[in-house]
A and B are shown apart, each in its own frame.
Chain A
């Protein structure tokens, strides 16, 4: 039995299940029409396998549910807050904590405190809500991710890295004073869940130190990034996920966190900083937007679940199974020749819609079209991450992003390997008949974050 491959299995078993509704093709067609061909607008009851997002969709553990029962709902000074504060300090290493109802609450507060009109915020690729908050605060986002990140075929292992020369040029052009902070995401979402290397972070730290510029860490998937560092970066194979996470954070000055991803909760987020002055200002501001600084708009039980979830998220067994499942699905899709972003990222598979549907011009929304077709085939809900998500520039012109992707995001601890098989097979079926698929036009466009609520019509 020497050469037999040993499978990994989930480091947990199921304690509670949620029943799914099966739909027919006719029902799905009707549901999709009602939703204006936007998968965001589908009712979740009409969805069989929901890969819309890995945000807030995790299955909590029995320990987390037990923590829910320990929620202390006092308005001020809840013990769950002190537990969370301790965990954030111990595991993530940041000094001061401001809880928020979710990640965007933290982004809102941070942007309002640090950004002045006319400021430049360089970052390793944009993210929708992050960039919007930067813009609303009067700043301008500048992409400094390495060029490889924009090439779905390139197999460089750390496509989340920053191109330091791009950053240096920006500093030279605008001056360090105009740059309140560098916005660094671990597991860069819009690039396909691609990690940043520890070496790159260290170099970035050295450079920013010289110019006295802060690094603010979008840490929502830091544990998944740490796993890739452990697997692929020299000198880290013997280090634990916990150690790597802490080292990553040590090169940054603060973080915004949506705990709905890595931290395995359904709601919650925080802002964490090492500077007292920023903390104090944030504490005054959080009362206006979120809630008193010892609950930040969260129920006590949700802070407790978050504290426990953070601990679980950095355990070796969990993260291996988590990323392992994503890689399993990605490999299966590659077996079917479906064009996906390589290497496979940490939280989902990103299908290259430009290659999948080369006959549809970007202006006719190939990724949005593909997401609609995938739903029709078997009830799998995915999300567009291309021209619709990118939105418009300040002057009203569309951004035309290089990447036109459909994201298959895998919720944590929710679906089984059999579900993964169904997903890959459905994608293969759609791929078979891809030439018959036509593009779409947008018939309703909201002002902000249009991808959430836009409506479309199929072209004849």
Chain B
């Protein structure tokens, strides 16, 4: 097969500022071994997140120039809401300044003490918003999803038997919502099959529980369905996407992922009564319902991006570039989540650094080593992000200790990716020289963003 090339060329560039390993050692120490606290100018390749870091297209920039900044009733809003209605088939569209605001509004209405939100795997901010409302978030991932090293087609699937059992145990009335995250970010960017969504829908219908989709990476998930699921090979992506949304009662979306936008999000739903409640809250913290805390130009950029992301040439290139990095690392023996996910490569830190105990945060130690070695910024998705303390103050670890190398959309070239692979492999070869970390300061919620650590060297 011939090389799959980018279905675009570069129109604007942004310089990268180079620094030395010695400088990075000092920077890391000053940032308390937390990549979130490093200035972006000190980063060579920024794989912290694929959220809001996309390169917009010239068409999106043209949309930016067209943005109508009227406070109320902007045509940019109507472009935005018509596009989302068309894609999701849902009539009520509520813009928010980003995805977490959509989640917060939803959970503030539906959540509360004694309630359970059940999901394949909830992401950090989603979980925080659920817990903030007093409710509990429950992850019911399928068995395949728990084993990073063993490949399977749909490792993001929900364990439907466990779902049914959970509903019977806790009572349907205590479960306001089932949420399917596509693709499953915390579980390695792994896709959910259409079959699984259908089955979950069936259970939800049976017990009268609404189903929402956390749709951040809906197009990447649709591409995997096309590639891997029987009966979808010849279906166009918009059709697969439409079917996927047809099983849901609503969705939350961070447009900073699969809409190529640098800011923005939305809620979409079928229930008018719920939409009315959401809009009442929206006005308090976000903004008027036709702008939701976004500039008009950003509504335009999202509307255009949502269409661009469903182009097959793009999706083929996107998924292939993740696979390319995965293959390079696997060939060198680096323990990674397999197969490659939709938006990131996940290193298995437990296997990578078996000599570092979990309460010394091997994932964070690995992320720091990657920065020090080659200026690559990644993020720990493990016990630092999700760990909790028991009554005695002992760490309850997360299921997986991963380091995510999230690839921003349309930003880095193949040479950048080659460089990333080389740095990871270099670190892998000197892995025995890496030390664990100790927390010296942390916040009560979402601690990973601002936590300060020291090296146990």
Contact = CB atoms under 8 A, between A and B. Distances in A.
Q: Do A and B bind each other?
A: yes
Interface of A: 16, 18, 35, 39-47, 50, 52-53, 55-57, 68-69, 71-79, 82, 101-102, 104-105, 108, 129, 132-133, 136, 266-267, 283-284, 287-293, 295, 297-302, 446-449, 452-453
6 closest residue pairs by CB, A with B: A74-B40, A44-B70, A101-B97, A267-B295, A43-B73, A299-B262
Interface residues of B, number: 64
Interface string B6-42: 0000001010000000000000000000011111111
Contacts of B14: 72
B39 A77 contact: yes
B114 interface: no
Contacts of B42: 77
B285 A53 contact: no
Contacts of A101: 97-98, 101, 286, 293-294
B48 A448 contact: no
Interface in B218-238: none
A294 B391 CA distance: 33
A267 B53 contact: no
B70 A52 contact: yes
A44 B72 contact: yes
B283 A56 contact: no
B371 to A, nearest CB: 12
A452 B288 contact: yes
A71 B101 contact: no
A267 B37 contact: no
B48 A133 contact: no
B280 A446 contact: yes
B263 A298 contact: yes
A76 B446 contact: no
A332 B67 CA distance: 32
Interface string B424-457: 0000000000000000000111100110000000
Contacts, number: 175
B103 to A, nearest CB: 10
B92 interface: no
Contact of A105 (B128, B279, B293): B293
Greatest chain A CB density within 10 A among B41, B67, B78 is at B41
Interface of B: 12, 14, 35-43, 46, 48-49, 51-54, 64-65, 67-75, 78, 97-98, 100-101, 104, 125, 128-129, 132, 262-263, 279-281, 283-289, 291, 293-298, 443-446, 449-450
A82 B293 CA distance: 23
Given A56-B295, A266-B297, A288-B128, A75 B49 contact: yes
A449 B283 contact: yes
Given A75-B51, A266-B297, A41 B73 contact: yes
7 contacts: A44-B72, A46-B73, A72-B40, A74-B46, A284-B445, A448-B284, A452-B289
A364 B263 CA distance: 41
A150 B75 CA distance: 37
Contacts of A132: 284
B284 A289 contact: no
A301 B46 CA distance: 17
Nearest to B56: A73
Given A291-B98, A291-B100, A297-B97, A267 B52 contact: no
Given A299-B298, A452-B283, A288 B48 contact: no
Contact of B69 (A71, A266, A295, A452): A266
B178 to A, nearest CB: 23
A35 to B, nearest CB: 8
Nearest to A446: B280
Nearest to A292: B449
B49 A288 contact: no
Nearest to B97: A101
A301 to B, nearest CB: 7
Contacts of A283: 450
A263 B46 CA distance: 30
Contacts of B295: 56, 266-267, 302
Given A45-B75, A102-B287, A108-B284, 15 more contacts: A40-B73, A44-B73, A44-B75, A47-B70, A56-B69, A73-B262, A75-B51, A79-B41, A105-B293, A284-B445, A297-B97, A298-B263, A299-B298, A302-B295, A446-B279
A363 to B, nearest CB: 24
B53 A133 contact: no
B73 A42 contact: yes
Contacts of A50: 70
Contact of B280 (A288, A299, A448): A448
A73 B12 CA distance: 14
Nearest to A305: B295
Contacts of B450: 283-284, 287, 293
